[in-house]
Structure 1
Amino acid sequence: MFIAQNEAPDVTFDNRFVAELPGDGESSNTRRQVLRAAWSAVQPTPVANPQLLAHAADVASQVGFTEAFVQSPAFANVFGGNALLPGMHPYAACYGGHQFGNWAGQLGDGRAMTLGEVVNAEGERWELQLKGAGPTPYSRTADGRAVLRSSIREFLCSEAMHHLGVPTTRALSLVSTGDMVVRDMFYNGNAAPEPGAIVCRVAPSFIRFGNFEIFTARNDIANLERLVDFTISRDFAHLVDAHADVTARRAAWYAEVCERTAQMIVHWMRVGFVHGVMNTDNMSILGLTIDYGPYGWLDNFDPHWTPNTTDAQGRRYRFGQQPAIAQWNLTRLADAIAPLFANEADLQAGLDRFSQVYIAEYEAMNAAKFGFVQRGDAEQQLIRECFKLLYDAEVDYTRFFRALGDIPDALPEHDMLWLLGDVFYDNAKRDTHADALRAWLLRWHVQVLQHGRGFEARRAAMHAVNPWFVLRNYVAQQAIDAATAGDPSLVRTLLTVLRDPYTEQPEYAEFAGRRPEWARHKAGCSMLSCSS
């Protein structure tokens, strides 16, 4: 049902995805293989009692929603799945994907549906997508719902990443449904009812690598070609004027996707973020971080860490492996669009661009984290040695770099190691590596002073890339526990904190501490799954 015109905001939907790409000829909502179509028409399944728990005011404004509309019952009804705005055309996208390195066939939006594409007053396009609004033809055996636990994580993480400066989808709203949803959190036979919720996520486009893969896997080259050219026209319009030749335009598009992906991964590594499920269906064509499931930020620096219990044995998606996986995924995208190219050199050039951009920007990023202006052999050696020491001594990644930026030009007389503060997780490891850490700090200090930048300028530059606050899993879990018990206020508090992650906020210091020992093996803090 559509809400009344007098309750609706003054926004414009043009819905190009459904207008210009082939849709599913079958209108039923039965789970099935959907052939020769980019999307299927769907309708959200109504919920018992939609209530707005939190929203991102800047996202609402960007879309074109007033605060008065956001606070109205109509907003909760629309973004809880009980009503539509005039002009919305809900659909679920058809896509496939490689999951954990293996082709998984048709996947699609099984618990997500795009309500429509808003074009705001500035001409910006924003897709509004509900996650947890009920079943679609792609839900397979699932119910299409999401629980409060995973919805809070997605809502907060989307906004945390944006304010950290990481390319990402955004989150407009978090709505509780008043319904219970049964989930087996760790797929171990212990299913239980949990409160349901729906997140509205927002992005210029939700097209993924898997949208292209499914057409190629089915030898539907005509629709593959339509999707590629549509994506360029809508989401990479600058390439249309720059390249009259269609093949050159498509090659430039693929190279830009590779470049954007490289830049995204560099930002992940900068802030210590681990996605957890880098399947090709979770890779955005715009180079945005998408689909927040079992993610996490590093506590102690460990390149082998993954937050995903499903990946605990193989650790395919561990922190240090993310650049290589991104390149592997881009190669799968190249395989998918290869039928549109006579010369594979065009695609190889894009993959080469990924490597070039990643290496250059990763090195520049690390230099910035360490306060270096130059990036010579001495600086590179110090960086390599530091990461090994951080791993061996079990040092907190975020707090170490923040403390490093506070080390002054004139060293105090007392032990320099204690300038780092509370960054160690294991006192025995701290003591074992204390001398090596002291020696490294002294060498770093000598080197950074040679760059000629004064303390205040160096600290400001380092603090601009090394956040004071990241959304650690134990902090998010505290908000989840409180909201599950009926108090969503901590969700709103964290939304305030994460909006300014590079500024020290003493009143919220409790949320910026290293992981407490009680959270080391606690469900939701260190052990997560894809269950939502």
Structure 2
Amino acid sequence: MKNLKINNRFTAELPADTDETNEVRQVKDALFSYVNPTKPSNPELIHASEEVAKLVGISVDEIQSESFLNVFSGKEILEGTRPYAMCYAGHQFGNWAGQLGDGRAINLTEVEHNNDFFTLQLKGAGKTPYSRTADGLAVLRSSIREHLCAEAMHYLGVPTTRSLSLMLSGDQVLRDVLYNGNPAYEKGAIVARVAPSFIRFGSFEMLTARNELKNLKQFVEFNIKYYFSEIKGEPKEQYLQFFQKVADTTREMILHWQRVGFVHGVMNTDNMSIHGITIDYGPYGWLENYDPNWTPNTTDSQNRRYRFGNQPKIAQWNLYQLANALYPLVNEAAPLEKILESFIDKFDKDYKLMMLNKLGLFTSTKSDGSIIAGLEAILQLSETDMTIFFRNLSKIKKSDSVESALEIIKDAFYIPEEITGEILEAWTKWFAIYMERLKTEDLSDESRSTKMNLVNPKYVLRNYMAQLAIDAADKGDYSLVNELYLLLQKPYDEQPEFEKWFAKRPDWARSKVGCSMLSCSS
């Protein structure tokens, strides 16, 4: 990596932990602690993204080098760098958790390339002062899911961290995958993640909770200087603009989640990025059947706080916690409250427009709200695959009958024999309204279909697909990891060679571990 341009702004300008021992502890008056990764015994590269490598200034040839293997497995430290773990706090499942920090993530360095800045981070690289009772390691299963999903989200057009590489550590890691008292050893792995930064809402919460207001002011101004340099004006006005920017990009991110049917599963404030990018891929999932109450997280199965339909409100709740953290700098509640109150109003307007685009309705009428609400209700009458329904909807022509339209989308039904009686009547009524509305659109069927297919993906990383790749990788076969990576680079294209992945979740995957709900265990 001879061409990497090191520029460690975070560690150069912000307060460091003065204790450099790698012991679990409360870290005060600091935003990070220096710590080296745990050296893996026998690292092995499974997969790397050439695109992400180029993004940060690494050549394609260097990916296969020993230096790449050693640096991005944590075996060697890049010259001129000092790895570190960040200190932050957060609310977890709505409850204040106090200090959290990078418990299994270690930032290697910041780099500059083509006038952009990136932080390179290893996930699963070993213990840090923030690991609490854990070992700071990660297993192959969760690492495959993170590597594939981060890149899948990018190609879907969803703001996200990126994944540079996926490696085996050569070590065994003890995990209790179901949290049922039956731990077992699994293959250890490391993912190299890339983002503008890994700064979270919880970073600000920590400083305010500890009354470290001098550090809070310095940290907010650091973020404005380097990540929101377009912000100008008096300090108080800058802080409000900063909060507005974070609220806006967060809203845009959640809108994309709802568009593609993605459920994060762990929307704690320490998992929310100031950049409005998806961060920390744990027990995530895509909706199979359209169910606003579905959560992929077993830990959340009772209260379903982080269910699909609740993600916009949780984003607003998390922003409320960020507003509380920024309040000591603003000393006025009203302007912060105004931004918070406008969040859902703006989201609802954006959501309506997004749904109309998914439906192929590109001009607005008074009846559109009822068409969207009617569809959202009817999709829940019988299990209906969200991805397949919206993708096949683009095949409908204005001249089609209601019966023909129903035939075109029938593959989305998990239990076709249920589409009778009142359920069939409800679908028939909705399609009658939709088909009449479709006729008011000026676009040709072909042009409308093309536009719809730009927002309705054909392929998403369903949990059962990831699990198939995991099962094969456990046996040393990485062909499915490679195949899914290729597939997910073009999620909106037809890709006939991969048509088998345009399918409903198989029955065997309905309750299989890893194919529906997952734990946070990684």
- The separation in 2 between residues aligned to 1:57 and 1:67, in whole angstroms, is 6
Q: For residue 176 of structure 1, give the secondary structure of its aligned residue in structure 2.
A: strand
- 2:341 equivalent in structure 1: 352
In the TM superposition, residue 429 of structure 1 has moved relative to its aligned partner by 2.6
- The separation in 2 between residues aligned to 1:101 and 1:221, in whole angstroms, is 24
1:152 maps to amino acid: I
- The separation in 2 between residues aligned to 1:88 and 1:439, in whole angstroms, is 64
- The separation in 1 between residues aligned to 2:199 and 2:253, in whole angstroms, is 16
Q: Is 1:272 paired with 2:261?
A: yes
2:105 maps to amino acid: A
- The separation in 2 between residues aligned to 1:377 and 1:481, in whole angstroms, is 50
Q: Is 1:475 paired with 2:465?
A: yes
1:417 maps to amino acid: L
Whether the 8 Å CA contact 1:409–1:455 is kept in 2: the answer is yes
1:46 maps to amino acid: K
Question: Which stretch of structure 1 is more off in the superposition, 98-107 or 48-57?
Answer: 48-57
- The separation in 1 between residues aligned to 2:101 and 2:65, in whole angstroms, is 32
In the TM superposition, residue 345 of structure 1 has moved relative to its aligned partner by 1.9
Q: For residue 411 of structure 2, give the secondary structure of its aligned residue in structure 1.
A: coil
Q: Percentage identity across aligned positions?
A: 51
- 1:5 equivalent in structure 2: none
Structure 1 gaps, min length 5: 1-7
- 2:315 equivalent in structure 1: 326
- The separation in 2 between residues aligned to 1:207 and 1:353, in whole angstroms, is 24
1:233 maps to amino acid: K
In the TM superposition, residue 415 of structure 1 has moved relative to its aligned partner by 4.2
What per-residue deviation string (whole Å, max 9, x for no partner) do you get for residues 433-483 of structure 1? 123212322321110111222101110111110000010000010001000
- Which of 193, 198, 221 is 1:201 aligned to? 193
- 1:191 equivalent in structure 2: 183
Equivalence map 1:258-297=2 (5 Å): 258-297=247-286
What per-residue deviation string (whole Å, max 9, x for no partner) do you get for residues 204-245 of structure 1? 011000000111111111111111111111111111xxx231
Structure 2 gaps, min length 5: none
RMSD: 1.2
Normalising by the residue count of structure 1, what TM-score does the alignment of the two structures yield? 0.96
- 1:365 equivalent in structure 2: 354
Q: Is 1:154 paired with 2:143?
A: no
Whether the 8 Å CA contact 2:402–2:431 is kept in 1: the answer is no
- 1:128 equivalent in structure 2: 120
With over 3 angstroms needed to count, the CA separation of the structure-2 counterparts of 1:236 and 1:344, relative to structure 1, is same
- 1:29 equivalent in structure 2: 22
Q: For residue 425 of structure 2, give the secondary structure of its aligned residue in structure 1.
A: helix
Equivalence map 1:14-413=2 (5 Å): 14-120=7-113, 122-239=114-231, 243-411=232-400
1:445 maps to amino acid: M
- 1:462 equivalent in structure 2: 452
In the TM superposition, residue 425 of structure 1 has moved relative to its aligned partner by 1.2
Q: For residue 392 of structure 1, give the secondary structure of its aligned residue in structure 2.
A: coil
In the TM superposition, residue 73 of structure 1 has moved relative to its aligned partner by 1.6
- Which of 483, 507, 510 is 1:493 aligned to? 483
Whether the 8 Å CA contact 1:213–1:333 is kept in 2: the answer is yes
- Which of 490, 505, 516 is 1:515 aligned to? 505
Q: For residue 33 of structure 2, give the secondary structure of its aligned residue in structure 1.
A: strand
Whether the 8 Å CA contact 1:255–1:349 is kept in 2: the answer is no
- The separation in 1 between residues aligned to 2:166 and 2:154, in whole angstroms, is 17
- The separation in 2 between residues aligned to 1:132 and 1:413, in whole angstroms, is 53
Whether the 8 Å CA contact 2:205–2:322 is kept in 1: the answer is yes
Normalising by the residue count of structure 2, what TM-score does the alignment of the two structures yield? 0.98
With over 3 angstroms needed to count, the CA separation of the structure-2 counterparts of 1:524 and 1:413, relative to structure 1, is closer
Q: For residue 422 of structure 1, give the secondary structure of its aligned residue in structure 2.
A: helix
1:55 maps to amino acid: A
With over 3 angstroms needed to count, the CA separation of the structure-2 counterparts of 1:110 and 1:414, relative to structure 1, is closer
- The separation in 2 between residues aligned to 1:410 and 1:521, in whole angstroms, is 41
Q: For residue 524 of structure 1, give the secondary structure of its aligned residue in structure 2.
A: coil
Whether the 8 Å CA contact 1:256–1:350 is kept in 2: the answer is no
What per-residue deviation string (whole Å, max 9, x for no partner) do you get for residues 81-108 of structure 1? 1012222221000000000000000000
Question: Which stretch of structure 1 is more off in the superposition, 25-34 or 449-458?
Answer: 449-458
With over 3 angstroms needed to count, the CA separation of the structure-2 counterparts of 1:413 and 1:325, relative to structure 1, is closer
> 4+ runs of 1 displaced by more than 4 Å?
412-415
- The separation in 2 between residues aligned to 1:342 and 1:44, in whole angstroms, is 41
Q: Is 1:443 paired with 2:433?
A: yes
In the TM superposition, residue 410 of structure 1 has moved relative to its aligned partner by 2.3
With over 3 angstroms needed to count, the CA separation of the structure-2 counterparts of 1:45 and 1:452, relative to structure 1, is same
- 1:4 equivalent in structure 2: none
Q: For residue 194 of structure 1, give the secondary structure of its aligned residue in structure 2.
A: strand
Q: For residue 385 of structure 1, give the secondary structure of its aligned residue in structure 2.
A: helix
- The separation in 1 between residues aligned to 2:229 and 2:458, in whole angstroms, is 37
- The separation in 1 between residues aligned to 2:438 and 2:354, in whole angstroms, is 16
- The separation in 2 between residues aligned to 1:479 and 1:10, in whole angstroms, is 34
In the TM superposition, residue 414 of structure 1 has moved relative to its aligned partner by 6.1
Q: How many residues align?
A: 521
Q: For residue 434 of structure 2, give the secondary structure of its aligned residue in structure 1.
A: helix
Whether the 8 Å CA contact 1:261–1:354 is kept in 2: the answer is no
- The separation in 2 between residues aligned to 1:26 and 1:321, in whole angstroms, is 41
2:394 maps to amino acid: G
- The separation in 2 between residues aligned to 1:509 and 1:412, in whole angstroms, is 27
In the TM superposition, residue 379 of structure 1 has moved relative to its aligned partner by 1.6
In the TM superposition, residue 374 of structure 1 has moved relative to its aligned partner by 2.4
What per-residue deviation string (whole Å, max 9, x for no partner) do you get for residues 312-335 of structure 1? 000000000000000000000001
2:23 maps to amino acid: T
